[in-house]
Structure 1
Amino acid sequence: MNKEKKPLIVFDIGNVLLRFSPARAKRNFDRLVPGAGGKLIRLIWKTRLGLDFERGRLSGAAFHRECLRRAGVRMSYQDFRRAFCGIFTPMRAHLSLLRRLARRYPTALLSNTNPIHWAHICRAFPDLGRARYPMASHLLKEMKPAPVVYRRLARRTGFPLTKMVYIDDHPAFVAAARRLGVRALCFDGKTPLRQMLARAGIDV
């Protein structure tokens, strides 16, 4: 068990540290192959195939091949990856907050994501590397809000669930964490994140 006295601060990534837009992915795909965007977006975010990808059951190359086969389109892996990854915008104030907190607190990332996006965001947004424990669904082999995700986070970090402060924008994910004893905060874009953390006892 981790002997750290301070709590582990756990950040979701999407719409907490980075904004992301599936609509941008659709436009990106349509620019490459007119009419392909809608088909690919549905496969990526609305089917079992996409869920399996985020659970780490397919490689990026295998996912690309299967998406194109099902959509009936042709597109190089490089073009697919570039279009798929061109959907993120940094939330600079929140990344700055992560940088500051990581100097004084143990910090973690916990995101439902996939191998393609993970490799991209870790390279494109180096501030994410400030987190001591970078965790993602494809690495944990399961997705939030499954209780096993939070338990695996606890096991891998050594922090008990009751010694975490967790920020996510999905109410269902927050509720699942709370049922396990996590102090979970739901970021809705209205209350400043800095203020939410301060109320939770974090020295921001």
Structure 2
Amino acid sequence: MAIKAVFFDIGNVLLRFSNKRILRKFAWAVGRHPVKVARHIWKGRIVDRIERGEVTSEEIHGLFVSELGYKGDYARFKTLWCDHFTLDRGSFSVLKNLSERMPTYLLSNTNALHIDHIRSRYTFPSLVKGAILSHEVHLRKPQKEIYEAALKLSRTAPEETVFIDDLEENCAGARKAGLHAIRYRGAKDLKKRLAALGV
């Protein structure tokens, strides 16, 4: 069956970033060791709550103040929180070319602060037909329901739909929901794998 829609993840697909670098920045900002900051963030479900949209942008700042001892104001926090993305020109080129001939979408675990920043800095959000964003639907990859929400948005059958992500667990979740999934390993490999699906 022909492919009728392609969903792109954002982080480390369309935009490159390093969790280690982000942790180092936050650790420096709160005066703690990066390992301690990482342990606190993941044990305390901070990232999970943020990406499910359970807290507002202002409350994200509040969480870092109350739970990690961050002392900067909200404006400074926004810069710290958002200023670490770099466009992946290869995947952007693939998305741009695909968008000219078929519906493309975003499917990402993210938050309002990041999305506002991304929309103000990059053009790719304007190229896609729509987006499933974790903080808006209150679901996170690799939950089955988030892929079902994606299919509802694109109005395509699972076998007509491709999902591209950098993490194998998210690709596995998409495959369980019946979608074709490609783990992103660079634009050259992505083009080859899309071509194999007739895209």
The two structures have a TM-score, normalised by structure 2, of: 0.89
Residue 59 (structure 1) aligns with: 56
Please tell me whether residue 199 in structure 1 is matched to residue 196 in structure 2: yes
Among candidates 126, 131, 135, match of residue 129 of structure 1? 126
List runs of 5+ in structure 1 lacking aligned partners: none
What pairs with 1:103-114 in structure 2 (closer than 5 Å)?
Answer: 103-114=100-111
Residue 66 (structure 2) aligns with: 69
Residue pair 1:109, 1:131 contacting (<8 A) in 2 also: yes
Aligned length: 198
Deviation at 1:54, TM superposition (A): 0.2
Residue 25 (structure 1) aligns with: 22
CA distance in 1, matches of 2:120, 2:43: 27
CA distance in 2, matches of 1:46, 1:118: 24
Residue pair 1:102, 1:130 contacting (<8 A) in 2 also: yes
The aligned amino acid for 1:96 is S
The two structures have a TM-score, normalised by structure 1, of: 0.87
Deviation string for 1:14-41 (max 9, x for gaps)? 1111111123323433554544866555
What pairs with 1:92-103 in structure 2 (closer than 5 Å)?
Answer: 92-103=89-100
CA distance in 2, matches of 1:102, 1:176: 24
Structure ranking higher on relative contact order (CA contacts 8 Å, 6+ apart):
2
CA distance in 2, matches of 1:189, 1:46: 31
Among candidates 132, 143, 147, match of residue 146 of structure 1? 143
Secondary structure at the residue paired with 1:192?
helix
CA distance in 1, matches of 2:38, 2:87: 22
Secondary structure at the residue paired with 1:108?
strand
List runs of 5+ in structure 2 lacking aligned partners: none
Deviation string for 1:121-160 (max 9, x for gaps)? 1221112321111221111110000000011111223222
Q: 1:97 to 1:180 in 2, by over 3 A?
A: same
Residue pair 1:29, 1:36 contacting (<8 A) in 2 also: no
Secondary structure at the residue paired with 2:107?
strand
CA distance in 2, matches of 1:37, 1:135: 31
